[in-house]
Amino acid sequence: MNLNLDAEKQITYDAIVVGTGISGGWAAKELTEKGLKTLVLERGRMVTHPDYPTATKDPWQLPYSDRPTEEDLKQQGVQNRTGYTVRQSSKHWFVNDLEHPYTEAPGKRTDWMRGYHVGGRSIMWGRQSYRWSDLDFEANAKDGIGVDWPVRYKDISPWYDYVETYIGVSGENLGLPQLPDGKFLPPMELNCAEKELQKSVKDKLGRVVTIGRTAHLTGPLTHNDSPQRGKCQFRNMCIRGCPYGGYFSSNSSTLPAAEKTGNMTLRPNSVVSEIIYDEAKGVAKGVKVIDAETGEQLEFFAKIVFLCASTFGSTFIMLNSISNRFPNGLGNDSGELGCNIMDHHLGVGAGGSFDGFEDQYYTGRRANGFYIPRYQNYGKEKRDYLRGFGYQGGASRGGWSSLVSELSFGAQLKEAVGKPGKWTIGMGGFGEILPYHDNNMVINKDLKDKHGLPTILFSTDFKENEIKMRKDMAADAAEMLEAAGAKNVKTFDNKTGIGLGIHEMGTARMGKDPKTSVVNQWNQVHACKNVFVTDGSFMSSAACVNPSLTYMAFTARAVDFAVSELKKGNL
Amino acid sequence: MNRREAIERTALILGYAISAPAMMGILNGCKATPELAFKPVFLTQEQASLVSEIAEVIIPKTDTPGAKDAGVPAFIDLMLKDVYSQEDKDKFIAGLNSFNEEAKKSAGSDFIDLDPAKQVDFFKSVHDPAVAAFKSGEIKERPFVLVVKELTCLGFFTSEPGATQVLQYEAVPGAYHGCVPLAEVGKTWATS
The interface pTM score, or ipTM, of the predicted complex is: 0.94
Characterize the bridge pairing of strands A103-104 and A454-459.
parallel
- Considering only CB atoms, A359 lies closest to which of B134, B155, B182, namely B182
pLDDT confidence of residue B13: 41
Query: Rounded distance, CA A92 to CA A86, Å?
Result: 8
pLDDT confidence of residue A8: 72
Find which of B83, B89, B122 to mutate to test the A interface (most A CBs within 10 Å of its CB): B83
Characterize the bridge pairing of strands A270-278 and A454-459.
unpaired
pLDDT confidence of residue A10: 79
Work out the average pLDDT over B27-52. 81
pLDDT confidence of residue A296: 96
Query: Rounded distance, CA A250 to CA A243, Å?
Result: 13
Q: Which residue has the higher pLDDT, A62 or B25?
A: A62
pLDDT confidence of residue A379: 86
Q: How many CA atoms lie within 13 A of A499 on its CB side?
A: 25
Chain A residues whose CB is inside 8 A of the B181 CB are 359-361
pLDDT confidence of residue A151: 98
- Considering only CB atoms, B188 lies closest to which of A66, A405, A419, namely A419
Chain A residues whose CB is inside 8 A of the B68 CB are none
For residue B27, what pLDDT band results from cuts at 50, 70 and 90?
A: very low
**Residue in A with minimal Cα distance to B187:** A418
Cα–Cα separations (whole angstroms), residue A455 to A99, A320, A448, A491, B112: 11, 10, 6, 38, 56
Query: Rounded distance, CA A66 to CA A91, Å?
Result: 10
pLDDT confidence of residue A2: 56
Distance from CA of A249 to the nearest CA of B (A): 20
- Those residues whose C-beta lies under 8 Å from the C-beta of residue B148, and which sit 6 or more positions away, are B51, B54, B55, B58, B76, B92, B95, B96
DSSP class of A38 = E
For residue B45, what pLDDT band results from cuts at 50, 70 and 90?
A: very high
Chain A residues whose CB is inside 8 A of the B176 CB are 188-189, 234, 362-366
pLDDT confidence of residue A3: 59
Q: Do A67 and B79 touch (CB under 8 A)?
A: yes
pLDDT confidence of residue A5: 64
- Considering only CB atoms, B190 lies closest to which of A59, A397, A413, namely A59
pLDDT confidence of residue B36: 87
- Considering only CB atoms, A414 lies closest to which of B59, B142, B160, namely B59
Distance from CA of A400 to the nearest CA of B (A): 7
- Three-state SS at A525: strand
- Three-state SS at A368: coil
Given a cut of 50, is residue B23 above it in pLDDT? no
Q: Do A189 and B57 touch (CB under 8 A)?
A: no
pLDDT confidence of residue B33: 58
Could you tell me the pTM of the whole model? 0.94
pLDDT confidence of residue A439: 98
Given a cut of 70, is residue B3 above it in pLDDT? no
Chain B residues whose CB is inside 8 A of the A401 CB are 150, 153
pLDDT confidence of residue B9: 44
Ranges assigned E (strand) in A330-482: 344-345, 348-354, 360-363, 370-372, 389-397, 423-432, 440-448, 454-459
pLDDT confidence of residue B30: 42
pLDDT confidence of residue A4: 67
Chain B residues whose CB is inside 8 A of the A414 CB are 59-60, 62, 64, 166
Query: Rounded distance, CA A505 to CA A524, Å?
Result: 16
Chain A residues whose CB is inside 8 A of the B154 CB are 65
Find which of B168, B182, B184, B187 to mutate to test the A interface (most A CBs within 10 Å of its CB): B182
In this prediction, what percent of chain B has a pLDDT beyond 90? 81
pLDDT confidence of residue B10: 42
**Residue in A with minimal Cα distance to B83:** A69
Q: Do B175 and A234 touch (CB under 8 A)?
A: yes
- Asked if A531 contacts A330 with a C-beta cutoff of 8 angstroms, the reply is yes
CA distance from start to end of chain B:
36
Regions of chain A where pLDDT drops below 50: 1
Q: Could you tell me how many CB contacts below 8 A there are between chain A and chain B? A: 164
Residue B84 backbone phi and psi in degrees, to 5: -75, 140
How many other C-beta atoms can be found within 10 angstroms of the C-beta atom of residue A9?
Answer: 9
Query: Rounded distance, CA A552 to CA A501, Å?
Result: 18
Chain A residues whose CB is inside 8 A of the B188 CB are 397, 399-400, 417-421
Burial of A213 (0-12, 13-18, 19+ CB in 10 A): buried
Cα–Cα separations (whole angstroms), residue A246 to A5, A10, A239, A547: 46, 38, 12, 20
Q: Do A403 and B185 touch (CB under 8 A)?
A: no
- Considering only CB atoms, B181 lies closest to which of A65, A191, A359, namely A359
pLDDT confidence of residue A431: 98
